[in-house]
Structure 1
Amino acid sequence: MQHIGIAKLGKRTKSLVKRLKAGDIAIIDHVDLDRVTAESLIDAGVEVVINASSFISGRYPNIGPLLMASEGIYLIDAVEEDVFNQIKEGDEIVVRGDKIFHKGKVLASGKTLTVPIIKEKMEEAKKNIGAELEKFATNTLYYMQKEKDLLLEGMKVPESSVNFNGRHTLIVVRGHHYKADLKILRSYIKEVRPILIGVDGGADALLQEGYKPDIIVGDMDSVSDEALNSGAELIVHAYKDGSAPGLERLKKMNLPSKLFNALGTSEDIAMILAYEKGADLIVAVGTHANLVEFLDKGRAGMASTFLVRLKIGEKLVDAKGVSKLYQSRAKISHLIILVFAAFTTTITIIMSSTTIRGILRLIILKIRLYWGF
């Protein structure tokens, strides 16, 4: 099988997907490709993904490659980093088998991944999950000692122009099932009108559903310019040492922002912000809450996540998977009953109205005369 397309290269996959168009060939350097990134590549419409690293290293059974292969995307694995020197952005390249050609010359080669091969690799990776869990738990306990101020001490949160008191807050993160869960919450958002917080790319998820985020929290590296210019209040996640990589981007765009110095993830500090500002209820969509998701995210431990959830307690409602919990389906029997009820109501109205009965008789008479009855 042969594929021809324009090469688009990027070692930060979440930045690369913003430049991809249907039919492009994506060249990445992403070990253990995660579900959310895979879904982004699928949505971009790429035909081929070439990885300088391993799609599945064997540490744990990441599902990203299987999702892409199941959608018909051609995968070439472990091409090595030199591919970034051999191929330039915008080159028209040809992928034939496990080899990559440009102007008839072989530039690189790797290993073709198919669904059966990926499933076999995932089965092998499952054998290592015990060791990964042990390392993960040890790391988490270590960071719980460092991050305990999230739970035991009051955190200094930045001022906000948004009034949280007594209101619900919806926090959207680009995680597993975030799109489906956000769609299923449409009625809730319309009726309750919660404060909408997008965590980095979660702000774009809100915009795609027709909502304007009130606040955007995060490193500001995976959120679009459109979202940043939407008028939302911008809170940049800064590290304990004061560094805030996302701040430079906002300065270049002349956008005002505030800093939130804290350990933990951006989704953690978004929850802390809502909690400390007096939110009545915090609804989380797409947040990371299990081992595979944290390994996907590249974070060794989930200490801050444990601590934040302990601190927030009953105020937090995790909407993850709510689209799987209940899906309304209109049955044929329900539609028949609805049509019959409407028909019965119409007949009742007609029979009880002298005027309408007279009009109907006139119509019937005209039809009979027209057809010569």
Structure 2
Amino acid sequence: MRLSGLLGSQQETLPGITGTARLQRRDGALPQRIAARDIVFLDRVDLDRRTAETLVAHEVSAVINASSSISGKYPNLGPEVLLAAGVKLIDDVGPEALRGLRDGATVRLHSGGVFLRGKRGEELLVHGSEQDAETVAARMSEAKSAMSARVAEFSTNTAEFLRRERMLVLDGIGVPEVRVEMSGRHVLVLAPGEGHAVELGRLRRYVREHCPVLIGVSEGADTLRAHGLTPDVIVGDPTLLTERTLGEAGEVVIPAGPDGHAPGTARVQELGIGAVTFPAGGNPEDLALLLADVHGAALVVIAGSRASLEEFLDRERSLSNPSTFLTRMRLAGKVVDGSAAMEFERSRLSNIVFLVLAFGVLLMGLLALAASGVGAPYLTVLGGFAEAVLEFCTGMIT
């Protein structure tokens, strides 16, 4: 649908809000450039309060969400924060809104419609559900009721799981021995969750500098090898992995049921690969965390897995969530999310930049002394200091 002839001053009289579109380009990230009165396009289920507060601080005029800002799984506060600040919120426009729009384009919002402005007029891009205080309050009420039921179900499942697996979770009894030495070392556990390959790519510097023990969970082991890394340990069903990955791994651990049956054992036997079984009720990534913890890992970084509130209250994952919840509690501060490890490396790079700049200032001072002809007695001492700083910076970078 195209509205032609709406040029010049006529466009300014059209109802609604007009602004510059800013698009989310990757999962979980806000657009890099956001200015006052911009219209931000996201694809985020259950818009959280922190994101909403960030958008309000940037003084955006509207938020267009490709997904539902309140799915009903739990009462999230993001939509209320936006509306209270006078920010318009349009939901459920669909992913095509992000695919068919250019960052920086001029758009107009009116009655749930998103209109794209061009040289020949306006075109209706997508249409969504415009939220107000009443619709958000109704969805929040539904979410609170649903959350009560989910919390009760989760508590029951957790108590039952702890009753069955208390010796494993509390005391580590039943965790198999492995040949790979983990005591006092970093361990990177790569689970095959959404975006895990991208997350692994962003951890390249961490892997290079800390040389962690690499544990591939199921298909995560193939991803490690695809990135030029050899998994030290594989935890998962061998039938999901390539023969080459299985053959190169230092150790293969196959999860087994309470009766001891381990799917995939026949495959490793056919390939002549040694393997140990891990009888437990948890999912493979939780077993990998327990394996690292019991064998003395100093720090465990997990990538490709999320342990958010939404995940714990997701009915589809309700059978495995107690395992994840209790395992994370056991490891406590020893387990770090992959995104946090990336932030550590980013901060470290900032320190390196500072040191390089400091060295540059020092070098300029040395040159000034040399040019003046009066600083000769100090050049030897300062020159040695400059060499030490240079060696330190080089060591940090490499």
CA offset at residue 294 of structure 1?
Answer: 4.6
* 1:262 partnered with 2:280: yes
2:206 equivalent in structure 1: 188
1:307 equivalent in structure 2: 326
1:172 equivalent in structure 2: 190
Distance 2:312 2:302 in 1: 16
CA offset at residue 190 of structure 1?
Answer: 1.0
Q: Structure 1 residues 197 and 311, CA, compared in 2 at 3 Å: closer, same or farther?
A: same
The number of residues matched between the two structures is: 261
Q: Structure 1 residues 209 and 136, CA, compared in 2 at 3 Å: closer, same or farther?
A: same
* 1:244 partnered with 2:269: no
The alignment partner of 2:326 has SS state of: helix
Q: Structure 1 residues 240 and 154, CA, compared in 2 at 3 Å: closer, same or farther?
A: same
Q: Structure 1 residues 178 and 345, CA, compared in 2 at 3 Å: closer, same or farther?
A: farther
CA offset at residue 198 of structure 1?
Answer: 0.5
Among candidates 154, 158, 164, match of residue 140 of structure 1: 158
Distance 1:320 1:312 in 2: 15
Letter in 1 for 2:171: E
2:222 equivalent in structure 1: 204
CA offset at residue 197 of structure 1?
Answer: 0.4
The alignment partner of 2:150 has SS state of: helix
TM-score, with length taken from structure 2: 0.50
Q: Structure 1 residues 59 and 147, CA, compared in 2 at 3 Å: closer, same or farther?
A: farther
Say if 2:234 and 2:249, in contact at 8 Å, map to a contact too: no
Distance 1:322 1:243 in 2: 37
Unaligned stretches of 5+ residues in structure 2: 1-44, 46-67, 75-91, 101-125, 371-398
Distance 1:232 1:242 in 2: 23
CA offset at residue 215 of structure 1?
Answer: 0.7
1:271 equivalent in structure 2: 289
Q: Structure 1 residues 235 and 168, CA, compared in 2 at 3 Å: closer, same or farther?
A: same
Letter in 1 for 2:177: E
CA offset at residue 217 of structure 1?
Answer: 0.4
CA offset at residue 143 of structure 1?
Answer: 1.8
Among candidates 315, 318, 322, match of residue 340 of structure 2: 322
The alignment partner of 2:274 has SS state of: coil
CA offset at residue 241 of structure 1?
Answer: 1.2
Identity of aligned residues (%): 31
The alignment partner of 1:245 has SS state of: coil
CA offset at residue 203 of structure 1?
Answer: 1.1
Q: Deviations over 1:22-75 (max 9, x none)?
A: xxxxxxxxxxxx9xxxxxxxxxxxxxxxxxxxxx9x8749xxx999766769xx
Say if 1:181 and 1:323, in contact at 8 Å, map to a contact too: no
1:53 equivalent in structure 2: none
Say if 2:222 and 2:245, in contact at 8 Å, map to a contact too: yes
Letter in 2 for 1:304: S
* 1:152 partnered with 2:167: no
